[in-house]
């Protein structure tokens, strides 16, 4: 199980300007993405906001998983507020310099049995947060209308599926 690889995919299609539609690999509604002004029209979230949403969602789901599935608790709704910080790097390019997440649970301290144990371990179950914290290899290719490769970064090595 430690070497199990699961794949997923998303497809983006440019509509106009900086507006893109995202299609997922299971049947859910399309998502519209757009950049803020002056590039876009703010018609949807941009990529940086999706990263923050993904981190907040994953942390929330991990906490709920720990409380419900591991310790058979029935917590009330969990809320999350993620605040991202964009800062310029040494080359003057904006980068996500940090994401601060505040999770709010409906119960008071000690009202849920095993609450402290979940708080000690739930982050470790969060695929997105832990992946971002350690860095995610990304390979990039650009192909033309005929499928010819115009640009390609060096592909990072995939983890081996054998021991």
List pLDDT tens digits, range 93-146: 999 999 999 998 888 777 778 788 888 899 999 999 999 998 877 778 888 888
Q: What average pLDDT does the segment 63-91 reach? A: 88
Q: Is the pLDDT of residue 151 over 90?
A: no
Cα–Cα distance for residue pair 128/62, rounded to 1 Å: 10
CATH 3.40.50.2300: does it fit domain 10-137?
Answer: no
- Nearest Cα to 123, choosing from 144, 103, 147? 103
- Nearest Cα to 130, choosing from 53, 59, 65? 59
32 pLDDT tier (thresholds 50, 70, 90):
very high
- Nearest Cα to 122, choosing from 137, 143, 146, 101? 101
Region of 114 on the Ramachandran plot (φ > 0 left; ψ -120 to 50 alpha; else beta): left
pTM attached to this predicted model: 0.84
Q: What average pLDDT does the segment 62-71 reach? A: 86
How high is the pLDDT of residue 116? 82
Interval 84-101: pLDDT, tens: 999 999 999 999 999 999
Least confident span in 52-61, 73-82, 110-119? 110-119
How high is the pLDDT of residue 161? 42
Q: What average pLDDT does the segment 61-80 reach? A: 86
């Amino acid at each position: 199980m430690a070497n199990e690889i699961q794949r997923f995919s998303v497809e983006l299609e440019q509509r106009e300007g900086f507006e893109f539609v995202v299609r997922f690999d299971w049947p859910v509604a399309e998502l519209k993405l757009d950049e803020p002004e002056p590039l876009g029209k703010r018609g949807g979230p941009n990529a940086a906001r999706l990263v923050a949403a993904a981190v907040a969602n994953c942390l929330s789901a991990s906490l709920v998983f720990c409380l419900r599935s591991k310790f058979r608790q029935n917590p009330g709704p969990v809320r999350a507020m993620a605040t991202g910080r964009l800062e310029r790097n040494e080359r003057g390019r904006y980068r996500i310099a940090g994401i601060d997440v505040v999770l709010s649970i409906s119960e008071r301290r000690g009202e849920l049995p095993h609450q402290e144990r979940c708080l000690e371990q739930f982050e470790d179950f969060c695929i997105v947060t832990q992946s971002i914290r350690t860095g995610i290899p990304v390979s990039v290719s650009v192909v033309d209308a005929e499928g010819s490769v115009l640009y390609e970064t060096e592909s990072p090595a995939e983890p081996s599926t054998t021991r």
